[in-house]
Structure 1
C-alpha cells in the first residue's frame, strides 16, 4: 500500500513537472531577433490600419487624431469573463513606450509579454503569428510616434479555470501555428497578398470564423460567420458560400471596404464600422487584394 502511494505521488509530481515545462512561455530565438530589420514608421502606418489597433485600443467612438491615442480601457465581455483592453500607447510607464521591436514581435508571434507571461488569445496573436518581421518592425516604429497616454488598465477578470494563465501554454501547444488557413494550387500575386492581409495582420478570421469549445478558430468553417464575441448579434459569413458574399463582385467588396456601402446601398454598422474605417485608410491595391482573396476561398454555408 505504501509503495503504491509512493508511485502515485511520483506520478503526480511527474505530471506537474510536465505541465510546468509544457506551459512555459517561450520567447524569440536569437536568430529571430537578429532577423528583425530596422523599422520604418511611414510603412508602419499601413500595418497599423490593417491591424486594426485603433479599433480595440482607442476610446470607443474616437474620431480623427483621437484614434491614435491608444490608452485602452474597453471591456470585452465574453463567455470566459471580461477582457480589459490594455494601454499600448507610447507611454513608457503605462503603455509600451519602452518596448523594443523584439518585444512587440514576441507578443505578436508568441503571445508572451516582456515580463514572460502568456497573453490571452483575446489579443489576436493566433493571426498575428503570420505577420512578417518587416511589418512587425515597421509597426513598432510607427507606434513609437503616437501620443503617450498615461493610465494603466486593470487586469482582465476571468472565471475559473480560465484565470489560470499558465493553462494558455497548453492552448498554444494545441492551436497556435502559422500554417495558412487556405491552400491555393496556383495563387497569383494579388491573391497571395490578400491572403497575407486577411489571415495575418487583418485577423479577419478572429471575428468571422466559428470557434471550438476551447475558443480556437475552426479552420474547417473559415470565415463562415460566428456569434459576436461579446454575445450580442452575429458576425456575417464572408465566403462565397450560401448566405455569404458570393453575389458580390470583386469591385463590390473593394468598394465596401472603401466607402462602407454594400451593393444594395446599405451602410456598414456595428463593430464593422470601425474596421471599415481602418480599411479605408489603406491603398486601393490592398483593398483589391483582400477582395481577390475573399472571392477565391472555398465557400461555406453560414455557420449557426
Structure 2
C-alpha cells in the first residue's frame, strides 16, 4: 500500500513538472511589419478568400459581421469563433500588427498562448508580409462591436492549452510556398490559394485521433467535420472521375451549382456564399487548374 502511495505521489510530481515545462516552453518567431503599408481593399479580398466572414459571422443568429460566436462542435468539444471587430475589450482593437501577424501566421495569441488548430493558421502561414499588412488594414475598417464570444468548451485533457505546444512540435507544417518553375503562373496561383488562404485541406483531408491532418490522405475527403457531415475527395483522380472540368469547377465555386444542376449544401454552401463567390474569375480558374493538374505531392 505504501509503495502504491509513493508511486502515485511520484506520478503527480512528474505530471506537475511536465505541465510546468509546457507552460514555460517558448514558441513563436519575432515579427517586424510596421514599415509595410497595407491595402485595405486587397485585405478585404483576402479575408473573403480565407473564410473569415463565414467563420466569424453568426449569420443564422443575425450577428453583426465578424463579431464571432459561431459554434464549431468537434470530437474534442465545442469551439466558438472570436470577435474580430476593432472593439478594444472584446475584439482585436487593442492588438498591434505584430500580434495580429503572430496570431494569423503562427497561431499564437497576444498572451503567448497557442491557438487550437480549429483556427487554420497552418494554412495562413503561407501569407506574405504584404498579405498580412493588407489584412490588417482591412480589419482596421471593421466597426467595433462590444460583444465577447463564449468561452471554448473543451473536455480534459484537450482543455489544457499548453499541451498544444507538444502537438505543434509533432504535427505542425508551416511556411511559405515556393513557386514551381515547371508550372504556369495560373497553376502556382491556384496552389497558393488552395494550400494557403482557402485552406481546402482543412475540411477535405481526414484527421487522426489528435486532430492532425493525415498527410498521406491529402484531399481524399473526410468525415466528422465540425458540426457533423463529411466532405468529398477533391483529388485530381476524384475530380476527373466526377467529370469536372476547369470551366465547370470554376462556375461551381462562383455559383454553388454543380454540373448536374444540383447545388452545394452544408458548409460548402457557406464557403461559396461568403467566400469563393467573391473571388475573381482568374482566381477561380487558377484554383480549378491546380486541382485538376496537381501532383500527388501537392495534394494538401
TM-score range, shorter chain: 0.7 to 0.9
1:153-201 deviations in whole A, cap 9, x for unaligned?
1220111110110000001111112268999682221111111111111
Q: Which residue of 2 aligns with 1:236?
A: 232
Structure 1: 5+ residue stretches without partners: none
Q: Which residue of 1 aligns with 2:276?
A: 279
Q: TM-score, normalised by structure 1?
A: 0.85
SS in 2 for 1:186: coil
Match of 1:292 among 286, 289, 292: 289
Change (3 A) 1:251 1:62: farther
Q: Could you tell me how far apart the structure 2 residues matched to 1:106 and 1:155 are?
A: 21
Q: Which residue of 2 aligns with 1:55?
A: 54
Is structure 2 residue 66 aligned with structure 1 residue 75?
no
1:103-135 deviations in whole A, cap 9, x for unaligned?
111012221111111111111112111121111
**Which residues in structure 2 correspond to 1:92-111 (within 5 Å)?**
92-111=88-107
CA contact (8 A) 1:23 1:170 kept: no
CA contact (8 A) 2:102 2:109 kept: yes
**Which residues in structure 2 correspond to 1:1-304 (within 5 Å)?**
16=17, 20=21, 24-29=25-30, 32-34=31-33, 37-61=36-60, 69-178=65-174, 186-230=182-226, 232-242=228-238, 246-277=242-273, 278-298=275-295
Q: Could you tell me how far apart the structure 2 residues matched to 1:22 and 1:296 are?
A: 44
Name the count of aligned residue pairs: 291
Over aligned residue pairs, what C-alpha RMSD do you find?
3.2
SS in 2 for 1:95: coil
Q: TM-score, normalised by structure 2?
A: 0.86
CA contact (8 A) 2:33 2:97 kept: no
1:53-108 deviations in whole A, cap 9, x for unaligned?
01110013489xx7x71111121111101111111112121111222221111012
